[in-house]
């Protein structure tokens, strides 16, 4: 008794994940949200550094202009020069491997180069420790606007600024008028500025993450539908249907059609459960599908335990008969190996015919790519009138294969609707010029 293999992929999984290499679905499905955020962060850090460099130069020029005393001009230049130097270093680090690995450190450095460095410079030069809340507010609002990601980085930058100020306050211990009222007012102002910046960044990033996940889910669904469509229809036909959803019918002057039937499968169905029967048939046909892909053959359909394939369409080729012959021989070998591995005794009967066909998609629902014409009928008759375990070919196929394959003349057989036809049995390859 054959036990279903639960580890095998389901039919839908196979339709989605197997096929042409350029449609393979990756587990990651492109970059992750973390990778996208990292790339966004680096670009915005460089943008912020450039804006800060330009604005810093304008502020230096302004303070040099408004200060009438030489000493004031020197102080303004010193502070501006140091800040600009820090910003320039941060901007350069964004382009290095260090910046790419640790953009959060660049973020904090950019913030503190304006808030902390300015505060320290003013304390050292003027012994003045009034909080520069206007500079802090401008810096935090700028970062929340330009780099609205990773709210915790914004919070750390704000806390770091406060800690820096308190350390300086302890060291210098300045005396201010109305110190309590001053610090309460400044504290409330600064507190709500920080809360608004951090909370707005948190909401924005949450929105962006949800949007990213929704977009990825849509891409996954679209990619799966594309893969499913390409496993039902040839790629060329699928593209035609998407661009112009009308009846598709193309004539092909010469192709080679293959029909294969599993001998004894009907008898097996009477003594095997439906689930086991379907599992067995699926495993065999999956082997055939792999062979079709390997030999560049287009699978058309399965009808019960019959398998139909064609070579030479929709992409026309000159070696269609050779591709089908190679596939037919490999199908026999695959069934033999399957029998040995599963303790079975199946054999297949294959029929091959070469000639003109019409191929296309008709109808409004449940599209299927199909073939019509006398060549299809003859291939079906070659299979049904064939010998179990053999590959029977018609005269037209024989003429294309006789120089490279070992074919044995079977003789004239009576074919329904065609009368007597000369047929041959494909035995194997006798030439290595393939």
Any idea where the domains of the chain sit in the sequence? 33-219, 235-429
The Cα 185–Cα 313 span in angstroms is: 80
Rounded CA-CA distance 421/148 in Å is: 78
8 A C-beta contact, residue 82 and residue 44: no
Q: What is the pLDDT of residue 19?
A: 42
Average pLDDT of every residue of the chain: 82
Residue with the two structure tokens 């191929």: 359
Give dist(CA 334, CA 326) in Å, integer: 12
314 has a pLDDT exceeding 70: yes
For residue 247, the model assigns a pLDDT of: 67
pLDDT for the residue numbered 246: 64
CA angle 82, 88, 91 (to 5 degrees): 145
pLDDT given at position 179:
54
**Distance from C-alpha of 22 to C-alpha of 29, rounded to nearest angstrom:** 13
* Residue pLDDT, tens place only, 122-172: 788 777 677 777 788 888 998 999 999 889 999 999 999 888 888 887 777
For residue range 330-365, list pLDDT tens digits in order. 999 999 999 888 888 888 999 999 999 998 887 777
Q: Is the dihedral of CA 303, 330, 6, 16 positive or negative?
A: negative
Q: How many residues does the chain have?
A: 434
Q: Domain 235-429 is classified in which CATH homologous superfamily?
A: Nucleotide cyclase, GGDEF domain (3.30.70.1230)
Beta carbons within 10 angstroms of residue 188's beta carbon: 10
Per DSSP, which regions of 148-288 are E strands? 248-263
More confident residue, 233 or 338: 338
Q: Measured over all CA atoms, what is the biggest interatomic distance in the chain, rounded to whole angstroms?
A: 119
Name the least confident of 85-99, 120-134, 270-284, 379-393: 120-134
Token look-up 């949007």 returns 211
- For residue 234, what are its two tokens? 């040839």
pLDDT value of residue 181: 54
Predicted confidence (pLDDT) at residue 20 exceeds the cutoff of 60 = no
- Strand 419-429 and strand 405-415: the pairing is antiparallel
Question: Strands 391-394 and 347-361, how do they pair?
Answer: parallel
Percentage, residues of the chain above pLDDT 70:
86
Q: How confident is the model at residue 259 (pLDDT cuts 50, 70, 90)?
A: very high
């Amino acid at each position: 008794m054959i036990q279903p293999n639960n580890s095998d992929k389901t039919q839908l999984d196979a339709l989605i994940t197997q096929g042409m290499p350029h449609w393979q679905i990756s587990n990651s499905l492109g970059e992750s949200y973390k990778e996208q955020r990292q790339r966004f962060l680096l670009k915005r850090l460089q943008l912020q550094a450039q804006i800060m460099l330009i604005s810093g130069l304008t502020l230096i020029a302004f303070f040099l202009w408004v200060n009438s005393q030489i000493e004031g001009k020197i102080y303004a230049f010193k502070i501006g020069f140091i800040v600009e130097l820090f910003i320039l270093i941060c901007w350069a680090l964004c382009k290095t491997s260090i910046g790419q690995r640790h953009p959060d450190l660049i973020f904090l450095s950019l913030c503190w180069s304006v808030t902390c460095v300015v505060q320290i410079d003013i304390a050292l030069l003027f012994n003045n420790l009034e909080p520069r809340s206007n500079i802090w507010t401008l810096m935090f609002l700028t970062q929340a606007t330009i780099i609205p990601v990773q709210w915790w980085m914004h919070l750390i930058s704000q806390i770091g600024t406060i800690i820096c100020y308190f350390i300086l306050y302890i060291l210098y211990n300045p005396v201010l008028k109305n110190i309590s009222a001053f610090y309460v007012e400044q504290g409330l102002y600064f507190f709500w500025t920080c809360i608004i910046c951090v909370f707005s960044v948190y909401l924005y990033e949450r929105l962006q993450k949800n949007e990213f996940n929704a977009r990825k889910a849509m891409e996954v669904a679209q990619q799966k539908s594309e893969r499913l469509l390409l496993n039902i229809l040839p790629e060329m036909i699928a593209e035609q249907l998407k661009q112009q959803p009308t009846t598709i019918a193309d004539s092909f002057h010469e192709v080679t059609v293959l029909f294969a039937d599993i001998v004894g499968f009907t008898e097996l169905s009477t003594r095997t459960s439906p689930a086991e029967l379907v599992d067995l048939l699926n495993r065999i046909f999956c082997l055939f599908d792999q062979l079709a892909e390997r030999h560049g053959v287009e699978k058309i359909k399965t009808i019960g335990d019959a398998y139909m394939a064609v070579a030479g369409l929709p992409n026309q080729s000159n070696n269609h008969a050779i591709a089908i012959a190679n596939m037919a021989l490999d199908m026999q070998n695959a069934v033999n190996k399957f029998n040995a591995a599963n303790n079975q005794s199946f054999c297949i009967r294959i029929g091959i015919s070469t000639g003109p066909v019409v191929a296309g998609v008709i109808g409004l629902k449940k599209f299927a790519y199909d073939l019509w014409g006398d060549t299809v009928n003859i291939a079906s008759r070659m299979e049904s009138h064939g010998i179990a375990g053999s590959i029977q070919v018609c005269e037209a196929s024989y003429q294309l294969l006789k120089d490279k394959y070992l074919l044995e003349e079977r003789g004239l057989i009576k074919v329904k609707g065609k009368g007597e036809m000369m047929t041959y049995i494909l035995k194997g390859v006798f030439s290595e010029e393939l």
